Structure 1
Amino acid sequence: MFLSRRLLVSASSVLALSATAIHAAPASPADIAKADARAAATVRQMTGEEKVVLTHGIMPLPLAGPVPGMPADAIPGAGYIAGIERLGIPALKETDASLGVSYVMGIRKDGATALPSGVAQAASWNPDLLYRGGAMIGSEARAKGFNVLLAGGVNLMRDPRNGRTFEYLAEDPLLSGMLVGAAIRGIQSNNIISTIKHFALNGQETGRKYVDVKIDEGAARESDLLAFQIGIEQGQPGSVMCAYNRVWGEQACANDWLLNKVLKQAWGYKGFVMSDWGAVPNIEAALKGLDQQSGEQLDPGVFFADKLKEKAASDPAYKARLDDMNRRILTAIYASGLDKAPATPGGKIDFAANAQVAEEVAKQGIVLLKNDGALPLAKSARSIAIIGGYADGAVLSGAGSSQVHGEGGPAVVRPVGGKGVWAGFIAQQYHRSSPMDAIQELAKDAKVTFRDGRYIADAVEKARQSEVAIVFATQWQTEGLDVPDLSLPDGQDELIAAVAAANPRTIVVLETGGPVKMPWLDKVAGVIEAWYPGARGGPAIASVLFGDTNPSGRLPLTFPKDESQLPRPRLDGSDWVEPDFSGNPSSGSDKLVSDYDIEGSDVGYRWFARKGQKALFPFGHGLSYTTFESSGLKVKGLAASFTVKNTGQRAGDDVAQVYLVSRNGQARQRLVAFQRVSLAPGASKSVTVTFDPRILADYRNGGWVMGGGEYAFALGKDAENLSAPVKVKLAAKKWKD
C-alpha cells in the first residue's frame, strides 16, 4: 500500500548529511488518509481548466534550442509540471536521478555530489547506507529547488549487457526491494517526492521503446514485480514511473494489467503514475492507468491537456478518471509536504560532508573478488605502476539521464560518435577523483608512475620495473545502448594478460557497470570490483587496496563465465535493431520480442542453480582481509537465528545470507534473508531474521500459494557455497496481495 507502513530508521542513518536536509519522518497511514481526503476536497474545487494542469508537463531543457513557453519558475532539469496558485498547489520541478542531481551537460552551471552506481550501492547489502545516500541526494535536489527526484531504479538484472545495469541494484527481488525502499525513504525525508522506476520488466536498451516482453504472470509477480512491490511497501514513493517497453503487447505506460490491475487494484497504490519521457502512445493511456504525461514534447502529441479535457467533458469514464488522476497527484504532494515546506533554489549544500557519504558508499560497495595474498598492499612499497583507466586523474561514470558531475564538470570526456544533442548526452565521462593521487598519499615513499595502456609494450616495461602493477580496467555503460558482449573493450584483456606476465604482483581494479569476462583471471594476483565509484572513488579504491578499509562488498548479481551461461546468449534484437537513442521503431523492428519465459522467475543465481552451472563469481560473493564463520542455523516458522563470528585478525563486516534450498524435496533456491554484521577480531554476534512468505510461495490463479510440507534452508557465503541444510515443516497458506 502507498505510504502504508511507518518505518523507522536508525540514528546512524542520518550521519554526515547536509545540514540543509529536513529528514522528515515517513508518513503514517493516518497521514496518508488525511492527504487523500484533502486531495479529494481540492479536486472538488478545481475548474475544468485546472483539472488538466497537473496531468502534463514539459522537459525544460534547451537541448536542441529554446523551449517554447518556458515558465519563469522552471529550473533546467528533467521535467516541469505547472502548479495552481489559486489552490496553493506548487509546481512539480523534477530532476534525475538515483545517483545524484543530474548534470544535464552543465546547462545549469552547477555541480552535485555523485554517488557510486546503483549496483555499487547494492553491493553494500546495507539498507541503512542506501538511506543515507538517498537522504544526501534528496537534500541536494531540494537545495537546488527541485521537489521531485526521478530515482528508485529497481528493475531486476535479467541481462548484464543491459546498458542501464549500472543504474539498477540487483538480480534478486528481496535484495532489490529492500535497498530501493531504503533509498526512497531517504530521498523523501527531505519533503520531496521520489519515484520508483521503470515499471516494469524493463530489461534492455536495444529497441527499448517497442521490445515486447513475454512472461507468465506468476513468474512476473515472483520476480520483477515483487521487487517493485517490496520497494513500494518499504519506501512508500509518491510516484511510480512506467517504462518504455511493451508487456504482453501493450506499452508499459498504457498497460491496463500493470497500472490498473496490479499496481492500483491488487497493491492498493494511492500515489500517481508518471510516464517516462517519450513513452506515451495515445490518450487512451489515461484509462489504462497513466496519471501524468511527462516531457510531453518528446511524445507523438500532447494527450493529457486539451484533448483530455474534451474527453472528460463528453465521456463519463474520462471524467471520473481525470478526477482520480488529480486526486492521486495531490495525495502525493500533500503526503510529502511539498506545499507546506516548499523547495527553493539557492539552498546551502555541504559538499564536503556529502562527499564523505559518497566515499563511504564506495568503500562498502567495493568487492574483493580474488586475492592470492598480494592484498592489502604495503604502504612501504617502493615502486607502483598504475596502468590504464585514466587513473591518474579520474574514475569512470555511467552515462545518460543519471549522469552526475561535481563543480567543474567531467575530468575526461570520450566522444562515442554520432551527431546532435544525444551524442553529447551519452558521451563517456569521468569524475574528478584521482586513484593515483590517493595511492601516492597512502604510499608516501613509493615511486608511483602512470601509463595510459594504449601501447601494451610501454605498459609491460613499466610493470616489469615496478614492485607492484595496478591495472585499472573499464567497461562503460549508458542509457540508450546495450553492450554487445561481456568483454573488456579497447584491448584491455590483452593488456592485463601482458602486464601480469611481466609482473606476478599485478592487481586489477575493475570500474565496470556490471559483470565482465576475465580470461586473465588465473594470471593476476588480485581483483577488486570498484564499479563506478562516484565522487570520491579514488580515495575509496586506495583505502581498500592498502587495507585502511577492509573490503566488505558482496556481489548483487552473478558474474557468468561467458554469455553462453545466460538465458539468452544473444541479446534480443542486438543483431538487427539499429541503435537509436530515441528508440523509435524502424521497419520490422516493432516485432521485437524478448522471451522472459525462458527463465521465468529464476533470474540470475536462481537460473544458475536451476541449470546446475557454476559462475565465474556467484551472487553474494566477496572476500575480506579477515575470515568469518556463520553457524548454528535454527529455523522456527518464518524466522531464523544463527551466529556470525570473526575468526580472523582484522575488524570487518560480513554479509550473512540465508537461502531456501529446497521445498518438499525439490531444489528451489531463493535468498530469504540477509544482514550486514560488523565484528571485531574474535567477536561473534547472534542474528535473528524473518522471512517474507512471498519468497517461499508461488503466485498462481491471482494469489500467493505457499504449499505445506518440508522446507530446507542453508547459510551461504554466497549463492553457491552453502552450509548443510536445516529442514523445517511449514503449514500451507494462501493469500491475496
Structure 2
Amino acid sequence: MGSLHFTTPSREKLLQDMTTSEKIALLSGVDFWHTAGIPHLNLPKLRMSDGPNGVRGTKFFDSVPAACLPCGTALGATWSRELMKEAGDLIVRECHAKSAHVWLGPTVNIQRSPLGGRGFESFSEDPLLSGIMAGAVISSVQKGGIASSLKHFVANDMEHERTLVDCRISQRALREIYLLPFQLAIRDANPWALMTAYNRVNGTHMCENAEILQDIVRREWNYDGCILSDWFGTYSTVEAINAGLDLEMPGPTEWRGKKVSTAMSVGKISNDTINQRASSVLKLIERCSKSGIPESGPEICLDSESGRDVLRRLGSESIVLLKNERNILPLDSAKSLAVIGPNLKKPFFCGGGSASLRPYRSVSILEGLNAQLEKPVQYAEAWRIYNMLPVLGDLVRSPTSGKLGHFLMSIYSSPPLEDKHTLLETFELDDTNVVLYDYSNAATPDNVLFATIEADFVVEQAETYAFGLTVAGTAKLYLDDNLIVDNAEKQIRGESFFGSGSVEEIGYTELEAGKVYRLRVDFGSAATSNLNKAGAPVFGAGGVRIGCAPCVDQGSDLDKAVELAKTVDQVVLSVGLGPEWESEGSDRTELGLPGRQAELISRVCAVNGNVVVVIQSGTPVSGPWNEVPAVVQAWYGGNESGHSIADVLLGKTSPSGKLPLSWPMHIEDTPAFLSYRSEAGRCYYTEDIHVGYRFYEKTKRPVQWPFGHGLSYASFELDHLTLTMDGSGLDSQLHISVTVTNTSTIDGSETCQAYVKRISESKVSRPIKELKGFTKVFVPAGETKLAYITIPLKYATSIWDETSGTWLMESGSFEVLVGNSSALTPLSSLFHVATSLEWKGI
C-alpha cells in the first residue's frame, strides 16, 4: 500500500471502471495469504495472517518468530476489556512487523464440550463473555487500521468431520447461544471481515448459507464488512456467491475465476451480485489502507521489552487460582522447593494447528522460577508424556553446518531417486515437525513435490529406540540406508495435519551410544498419498513429522520424583496437556490427564502436604483434585508463560483470573456428552440452550469448579448493590453499582459478575440465570472502590421467540444477581418490564 495516505476513487466509480474479469479476480486469493491486486487501478494486494493468539506472518514453513499471546480461554479468564485493548495494541504492532493487513481473529465459537480440539482458541462457554471480549480486542486492532476477521461463523464447535458435519441446532439455541457472540462483537466493534466455518448448519454449508449470511448478518444486523471463507472452506461457485460469500481463500482459486464467468453467462449469477461481492472486497482494501502497511512488505521479528511486559501481564492476569487450602500459596521462598512433572521444561505457549506460531522466545515453569529464586530449583520430570513420539531436537545435527538440532531438507520436482530429478532448493531447519501448507515454488504449481531430509543422528545411551513418522503425504525413514519406518505403502488415516494426515507409523531399532548414524527421510507431498481425506481440508503440500524416543521403563523415574518430594518443604507439580492433545484437526478422546500424571499427583500428595499443581491446558482436565491442597490453572500462557506463572506462585502478582467455562468432574456430566461427534454426517445439539453453567444449574449437577470461579491472595467484600433503569422501551438501560472492599493487606483485582434471573412465568423454559454484564476492578489493600455495570434492557431480558421469528423482551419481573462467580451471587435486586416488545437487529 505504497504510502500512509493511500486513496482510491469511490467504490462506485471503481466498479464502473473495472472489467468483469477484474471484479471476479477480486473474489479469490492469489496465494495462501494474499488477495488479488489490480495495479493499474492502484488496488494493492492485502496480506492476511493467523491469529488468533498472535500474528504468524505468511509462513507455516520456516516462519519468522513472533509474539505469542495467551490462548483464547486464557484471555477470556482475564474478564478484562482493558487488557483486551492492550492485547489488540500488541497485535497491531505485530501486524506491522509482518506487513499483514488482515488479522484472522478472534475466535468466538462456543465450548460445548471440554474435548473440543480448538476449544483453547475461543474465549468462553458463555456467549456474552465471548462477544464482549471479542468486541474489545477488535476495536483496538481496527483502531490501528488492521482488519479483524471474526471467526468461525458459525457452530464450528468440534473438529470431528468438520467439513462434512451438519450441526442441527434449534433456532432458539442458534440465536441465544451460537450467533450471539458474533452479534455482540458486530454491535460493539463492527469487524471489517467475517470468516465462515467449514461445517453445515441445519442442512447447508456455512459458505452457502444465505439464510444466515444474507438474511441475518447483512439484512438484520446491517453488517457491512467482507465475508470470507475459512481456508479451503469454499465448496461451490454459484451457491456460495449468491449466498453472500465475498472472498474465497486461499488462492489460486478452485471455485471462482472462469467458473464465475461461465455461471454469469448462463444467468446463474447476476452482474449486480458480482458488484456487491467486489464492493465488499474493495471496502476491505479501503479500510486497511489506514494502516499504512505497504503491499508485500517485509516480515521481521519484533521483540521488545514493552511487548514482553504486556505478554507477561496478560499471562499472569489470566491465571486462575482454583484452590488454596491453608494458604499454601504464595510459596515461601525461604523454604526448600522442588518442581516435579512432565511439563516443567516444556514452555507450552499455545495449542496446535493454525493458532500455533514460532515464538521469538518461550519460558518454561522451571525457567520462570529459577529467574526469581536465589538458588536453582531442584526438579524431576518423573514421566515423559507424548501423544506422538517427541520431535528429534538435539538428537540431530546438520551434516553441513554442524549445528545441533538442525537438519537439511532438499526439495525436488520429482522423486530424488529417479535419474532425471531437479533440485529446487535446500533449507536448514530446526524442527522435525515440517509443515508445508503454504510452501510454494513455480516448478510445483500443483503442490506435487518430493523432499529428502538428512541429518547426523547420535544418542548418548545404548538402547532400543522407537522412530515415528506422521505424514500428510508419503514418507520413509532410513538409518544408514536401512529402512526403519514405512509410512508410504500401507497408510492409515489419522488426525494429524488438520485431520488430513496419517496415524503415526512406528519402527524400532537398537542403537549404539555415541555412534553417528546418517538419518534420511524420503518425503512425497500430500498429493502423493491415496488416503481418504473426506471431512478434512487438505492444506497445500502437506507435511511430515519425525519423532524418536528410547524404549525404557519410566517407572523408576516416577519413583525418584516421589523420593525427591519427600525431601523438600514445598512441591510444584507441573502437569497438563499441550498442542499434541489440543489442536485443530482433532478432538480429545477423554477428559483425564494423559499418561500417569494422575498417579504422580496422588503419590506426591501422599508424601508431601504442601503441593501446588499447575495445570497447563486450554480446557478443563479431570484429576485427583480433591487430594491436592492448591491448584492453579495456567492455560497456554504465551511467550512469557513461565514468568507469568512464577509471578503468581511467588506472590509478585495476586491471581485475579476467573474461569470462563465450567470445570466438570466427569466427561459424562457434560451437556454435550451424548451428542458431540458427527454421526452419519450429523450432530444434534440436544442440550439446546443449556450450555455450560446453564446446564449444570438447571440439572443441579455438581461441578469441580463453577463458571466465573477464581480465588485471590487478597479478600474482597461486595456490598451496597444499587439498580436503576433509564430510557424507555427497547432503548432502556440497567445501571448497576456495587462497592468492592479489599479487606486484606494485599492489593488485588476482583471481577463483579451480574446475572439476570426470570422471576415471573415465562413463555418458554429459561436457564436458572444468565450472565448479562461484568466488570473488573483493581482495589488496593484496605480500600473500597465502586464497580459499575451497564446492561441494555433488551439484552438482559429477551428470548428468541421461534413462533414470531423475533427477539421478545418479555414483560414481567426479573432479578439481578451480583457476585464473584456463578455459584456465589449474594447481592440481588428486582426490576420489572412493563410491556412485552418484539425486536430484531443488534
Hey, what's the Cα distance between the residues in 2 that align with 1:517 and 1:528? 13
- Please tell me whether residue 390 in structure 1 is matched to residue 343 in structure 2: yes
Q: Residue in 1 aligned with 2:826?
A: 723
Hey, what's the Cα distance between the residues in 1 that align with 2:223 and 2:43? 22
Distance 1:531 1:663, change over 3 A: same
Q: Residue in 1 aligned with 2:27?
A: 55
Where in structure 2 are there 5+ consecutive unaligned residues? 385-556, 726-733
- Please tell me whether residue 367 in structure 1 is matched to residue 367 in structure 2: no
Hey, what's the Cα distance between the residues in 2 that align with 1:338 and 1:91? 14
Q: Residue in 2 aligned with 1:358?
A: 311
Q: Residue in 1 aligned with 2:798?
A: 697
Further displaced range: 314-323 or 673-682:
314-323
Hey, what's the Cα distance between the residues in 2 that align with 1:388 and 1:208? 34
Q: Residue in 2 aligned with 1:606?
A: 694
Asked if the contact 2:337/2:378 (under 8 Å) is kept, the reply is yes
CA offsets 1:172-196 (integer angstroms, 9 cap, x no match):
1111111111111222233221100
Deviation of 1:357 after TM superposition, in Å, equals 1.2
Distance 1:371 1:348, change over 3 A: closer
Match of residue 274, structure 1, among 204, 228, 249: 228
Deviation of 1:316 after TM superposition, in Å, equals 7.2
Match of residue 295, structure 1, among 250, 257, 261: 250
Q: Residue in 1 aligned with 2:481?
A: none
Hey, what's the Cα distance between the residues in 1 that align with 2:353 and 2:300? 26
Q: Residue in 2 aligned with 1:178?
A: 132
Asked if the contact 2:330/2:648 (under 8 Å) is kept, the reply is no
Asked if the contact 1:104/1:403 (under 8 Å) is kept, the reply is no
Q: Residue in 2 aligned with 1:127?
A: 81
Hey, what's the Cα distance between the residues in 2 that align with 1:390 and 1:23? 46
Match of residue 41, structure 1, among 13, 20, 36: 13
Deviation of 1:715 after TM superposition, in Å, equals 1.0
* One-letter amino acid of the structure 1 residue matched with residue 247 of structure 2: Q
Deviation of 1:549 after TM superposition, in Å, equals 0.4
Q: Residue in 2 aligned with 1:553?
A: 657
Q: Residue in 2 aligned with 1:457?
A: 559
Match of residue 482, structure 1, among 587, 600, 616: 587
| Aligned 1:562-577 pairs, distance under 5 A | 562-570=666-674, 572-573=676-677
CA offsets 1:5-35 (integer angstroms, 9 cap, x no match):
xxxxxxxxxxxxxxxxx999xxxxxxxxx99
Deviation of 1:338 after TM superposition, in Å, equals 5.2
Hey, what's the Cα distance between the residues in 1 that align with 2:828 and 2:138? 35
Hey, what's the Cα distance between the residues in 2 that align with 1:534 and 1:571? 32
Deviation of 1:663 after TM superposition, in Å, equals 3.3
Deviation of 1:432 after TM superposition, in Å, equals 2.6
Hey, what's the Cα distance between the residues in 2 that align with 1:570 and 1:218? 20
Deviation of 1:689 after TM superposition, in Å, equals 1.5
Asked if the contact 2:798/2:809 (under 8 Å) is kept, the reply is yes
Deviation of 1:147 after TM superposition, in Å, equals 1.1
* One-letter amino acid of the structure 2 residue matched with residue 52 of structure 1: I
Distance 1:546 1:254, change over 3 A: same
Q: Residue in 1 aligned with 2:721?
A: 633
Q: Residue in 1 aligned with 2:781?
A: 681
Distance 1:180 1:691, change over 3 A: same
- Please tell me whether residue 381 in structure 1 is matched to residue 334 in structure 2: yes
Asked if the contact 1:23/1:135 (under 8 Å) is kept, the reply is no
Match of residue 592, structure 1, among 670, 681, 687: 681
* One-letter amino acid of the structure 1 residue matched with residue 797 of structure 2: L
Match of residue 434, structure 1, among 358, 364, 382: 364
Q: Secondary structure at the match of 1:373?
A: helix
CA offsets 1:27-60 (integer angstroms, 9 cap, x no match):
xxxxxxx99x922221121111111121011443
Hey, what's the Cα distance between the residues in 1 that align with 2:354 and 2:290? 24
Q: Residue in 2 aligned with 1:101?
A: 55
CA offsets 1:294-345 (integer angstroms, 9 cap, x no match):
0246xxx722211112323442743211100011111122123258653632
Q: Residue in 2 aligned with 1:526?
A: 630
Q: Secondary structure at the match of 1:307?
A: helix
- Please tell me whether residue 143 in structure 1 is matched to residue 97 in structure 2: yes
Hey, what's the Cα distance between the residues in 2 that align with 1:624 and 1:360? 16
Q: Secondary structure at the match of 1:166?
A: helix
Distance 1:158 1:675, change over 3 A: same
Match of residue 118, structure 2, among 129, 142, 164: 164
Hey, what's the Cα distance between the residues in 2 that align with 1:494 and 1:681? 40
Distance 1:108 1:46, change over 3 A: farther
TM-score by length of 2: 0.74
* Cα root mean square deviation, aligned: 2.3
Asked if the contact 1:662/1:713 (under 8 Å) is kept, the reply is no
Deviation of 1:724 after TM superposition, in Å, equals 4.9
CA offsets 1:558-615 (integer angstroms, 9 cap, x no match):
0011112212224533xxx7xxxxxxxxxxx6x322212x222222111112112221
Hey, what's the Cα distance between the residues in 2 that align with 1:56 and 1:109? 24
Q: Residue in 2 aligned with 1:644?
A: 740
CA offsets 1:520-541 (integer angstroms, 9 cap, x no match):
1121120000000110001100
Further displaced range: 189-198 or 237-246:
189-198
Q: Secondary structure at the match of 1:162?
A: coil
Distance 1:146 1:336, change over 3 A: closer
Further displaced range: 184-193 or 198-207:
184-193
Asked if the contact 2:146/2:291 (under 8 Å) is kept, the reply is no
Deviation of 1:128 after TM superposition, in Å, equals 1.5
CA offsets 1:182-217 (integer angstroms, 9 cap, x no match):
111222233221100000011100111111111111
* One-letter amino acid of the structure 1 residue matched with residue 739 of structure 2: T
Asked if the contact 1:312/1:322 (under 8 Å) is kept, the reply is no
Q: Secondary structure at the match of 1:501?
A: helix
Deviation of 1:726 after TM superposition, in Å, equals 1.7
Hey, what's the Cα distance between the residues in 1 that align with 2:284 and 2:834? 39
Match of residue 404, structure 1, among 357, 369, 384: 357
What number of residue pairs does the alignment pair up?
A: 645
Deviation of 1:721 after TM superposition, in Å, equals 1.5
Q: Secondary structure at the match of 2:83?
A: helix
Q: Secondary structure at the match of 2:337?
A: strand
Q: Residue in 1 aligned with 2:642?
A: 538
Q: Secondary structure at the match of 1:232?
A: helix
Asked if the contact 1:333/1:339 (under 8 Å) is kept, the reply is no
Hey, what's the Cα distance between the residues in 1 that align with 2:131 and 2:93? 22
Deviation of 1:478 after TM superposition, in Å, equals 0.3
* One-letter amino acid of the structure 2 residue matched with residue 198 of structure 1: H
Asked if the contact 2:383/2:596 (under 8 Å) is kept, the reply is no
Distance 1:223 1:374, change over 3 A: same
Hey, what's the Cα distance between the residues in 2 that align with 1:190 and 1:143? 13
Further displaced range: 527-536 or 714-723:
714-723
Asked if the contact 2:63/2:358 (under 8 Å) is kept, the reply is no
Distance 1:526 1:402, change over 3 A: same
**Is the radius of gyration larger for structure 1 or structure 2?**
2
Distance 1:721 1:567, change over 3 A: same
- Please tell me whether residue 714 in structure 1 is matched to residue 817 in structure 2: yes
Hey, what's the Cα distance between the residues in 2 that align with 1:305 and 1:258? 25
| Aligned 1:610-621 pairs, distance under 5 A | 610-621=698-709
Q: Residue in 1 aligned with 2:494?
A: none
TM-score by length of 1: 0.84
Hey, what's the Cα distance between the residues in 1 that align with 2:261 and 2:139? 35
Where in structure 1 are there 5+ consecutive unaligned residues? 1-21, 25-33, 61-78, 408-430, 578-588
Distance 1:731 1:539, change over 3 A: same
Further displaced range: 80-89 or 661-670:
661-670
Asked if the contact 1:150/1:195 (under 8 Å) is kept, the reply is yes
Hey, what's the Cα distance between the residues in 1 that align with 2:814 and 2:327? 42
CA offsets 1:357-394 (integer angstroms, 9 cap, x no match):
11111011000000013433444334211112332352
Deviation of 1:495 after TM superposition, in Å, equals 1.1
